[in-house]
């Protein structure tokens, strides 16, 4: 499976990335250098090359990728030079919680008019570990609050069935070793968690019912608060853990030649430093580090995009076997990349990054093939939604062209 990423800046030939197996990709570059745009190109290529054979998922903290449902008419001429045409893709936008409560009804209507399928993403309480639950509520596992909560979640896991937030509350309420104040404090927090409407209340949500192959699955986190223990991180932690387990099961079936219920997955995370920061923990970090380190075998690919490679967890960085770097200016970031670059590159990477001048230019390092390219990223077929001025500019352009 080959992905067309761009054209070589030196000899102008097309630059492809081999993506048949699982890959871990870092996309980096300073503010406005084209990271999110490039991430969109990647997803377009995955859909073109693999269609229903993979599930592409974009973790979208800013709320910009829904524009992939629209054709990129603005760059029709550029696309023509690439023998491509503008096109929109089927978009499924998953909103943790209740979209009707989180979005202005006019916005929701406009999204649906653009053929964006907006659906609530319901998480399984059982997919957050006992430690994760304690972290979510800032409860130290060596103090009464944490001890009781840990015990409640652990006891439910041991029963071997799925459970809801209400079940956790029940387990806390009937814990005879817990004192009343601790129980009250926990019940209040659990009640607050229920009001987020992020957790499924009725039964288990299988991941293959949530994410679909052949469409752009967008996990829209833009309406939720950030922070290491915020709901954005909670959501990413739970889906990463759930998908990992589901894909490991599917892989086992595939090894026996049995039909697989869940195709391979590409998880692309924009603004990834929010989830896998260098130093410090987050709710999602452990799951994502595991995904990067052990995801290859079950067919789990990862794309992390961030302004600053030096702000990304080193373990995740060291797993990246593809680097797509746009312009970088700070020395820390260039050296973080240099540490990654293999012997065959010497100091070449640093010199190449210095040469990048324009938005959309990048250096591609592919560790598997041991190749390095200076390339211009190909134009997007679907509309890019990240530009700060896009809607106004576009209207003006329309007026001028009349």
Ligand X SMILES: Nc1ncnc2c1ncn2[C@@H]1O[C@H](COP(=O)(O)OP(=O)(O)OP(=O)(O)O)[C@@H](O)[C@H]1O
Give the nearest distance from C-beta 379 to ligand X in angstroms: 6
From the list 63, 205, 386, 394, which residue makes contact with ligand X (rule: CB under 6 A)? 386
Binding mask 289-308 for ligand X (x = CB under 6 A): ------------------x-
* Minimum CB distance to ligand X smaller for 35 or for 285: 35
CA distance 376 to 52: 28
In the complex, residue closest to Mg ion by CB:
36
Measured CA to CA in angstroms, residue 126 lies from 43, 132, 162, 186, 199 at distances of 30, 10, 6, 17, 10
Q: Does 237 participate in binding Mg ion (rule CB under 5 A)?
A: no
CA distance 104 to 76: 32
Region of 10-18, 33-41, 141-149, 275-283 interacting with Mg ion (CB under 5 A): 33-41
Measured CA to CA in angstroms, residue 330 lies from 18, 36, 168 at distances of 30, 20, 47
In the complex, residue closest to ligand X by CB:
360
Q: Does 37 participate in binding ligand X (rule CB under 6 A)?
A: yes
Are the C-beta atoms of residues 240 and 288 closer than 8 Å to each other? yes
CA distance 197 to 310: 35
Binding mask 44-83 for ligand X (x = CB under 6 A): ----------------------------------------
> For 54, left (φ over 0), alpha (ψ -120 to 50), or beta?
beta
Q: Does 379 participate in binding ligand X (rule CB under 6 A)?
A: yes
Beta-carbon-side half-sphere exposure of residue 83 (alpha carbons within 13 Å): 3
Q: Does 360 participate in binding ligand X (rule CB under 6 A)?
A: yes
What residues pair up with 264 in beta bridges, in sequence order? 54
* Minimum CB distance to Mg ion smaller for 36 or for 274: 36
Report what 359 binds from ligand X, Mg ion, none; CB cut-off 5-8 Å by kind: ligand X
Q: Does 36 participate in binding Mg ion (rule CB under 5 A)?
A: yes
> If you search the block for the tokens 């968690």, which residue do you land on?
193
Report the interface residues with Mg ion, using CB under 5 A: 35-36, 386
Report the interface residues with ligand X, using CB under 6 A: 29, 31-37, 307, 359-360, 377, 379, 384, 386-387
């Amino acid at each position: 499976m080959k992905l067309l990423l761009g054209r070589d800046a030196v000899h102008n030939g097309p630059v492809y990335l081999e993506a048949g197996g699982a890959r871990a990709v870092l996309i980096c570059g300073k503010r406005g250098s084209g990271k999110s745009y490039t991430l969109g190109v990647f997803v377009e290529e995955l859909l073109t090359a693999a269609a229903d054979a993979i599930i592409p998922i974009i973790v979208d903290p800013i709320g910009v990728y829904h524009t992939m449902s629209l054709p990129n008419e603005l760059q029709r001429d550029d696309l023509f030079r690439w023998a491509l045409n503008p096109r929109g893709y089927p978009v499924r936008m998953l909103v943790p919680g209740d979209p009707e409560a989180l979005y202005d009804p006019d916005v929701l209507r406009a999204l649906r008019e653009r053929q964006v399928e907006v659906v609530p993403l319901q998480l399984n309480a059982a997919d957050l570990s006992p430690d994760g639950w304690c972290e979510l509520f800032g409860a130290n596992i060596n103090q009464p609050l944490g001890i009781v909560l840990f015990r409640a979640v652990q006891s439910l896991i041991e029963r071997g069935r799925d459970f809801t937030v209400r079940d956790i509350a029940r387990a806390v309420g009937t814990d005879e070793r817990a004192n009343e104040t601790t129980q009250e404090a926990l019940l209040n927090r659990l009640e607050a968690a229920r009001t987020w409407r992020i957790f499924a209340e009725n039964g288990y949500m299988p991941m293959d019912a949530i994410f679909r192959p052949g469409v752009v699955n967008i996990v829209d986190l833009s309406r939720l608060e950030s922070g290491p223990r915020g709901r954005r991180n909670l959501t990413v932690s739970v889906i990463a853990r759930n998908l990992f387990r589901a894909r490991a099961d599917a892989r086992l079936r595939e090894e026996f030649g049995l039909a697989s219920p869940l195709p391979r997955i590409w998880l692309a995370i924009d603004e990834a430093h929010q989830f896998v920061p260098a130093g410090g923990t987050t709710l999602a970090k452990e799951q994502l580090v595991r995904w990067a380190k052990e995801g290859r075998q079950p067919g789990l690919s990862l794309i992390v995009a961030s302004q600053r490679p030096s702000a990304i967890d080193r373990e995740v960085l060291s797993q990246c076997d593809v680097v797509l770097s746009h312009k970088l200016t700070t020395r820390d970031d260039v050296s973080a990349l240099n540490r990654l670059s293999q012997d065959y590159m010497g100091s070449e990477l640093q010199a190449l990054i210095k040469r990048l001048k324009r938005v959309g230019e990048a250096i591609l390092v592919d560790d598997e093939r041991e190749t390095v390219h200076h390339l211009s990223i190909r134009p997007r077929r679907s509309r890019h939604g990240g530009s700060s001025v896009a809607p106004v500019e576009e209207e003006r352009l329309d007026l001028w062209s009349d």
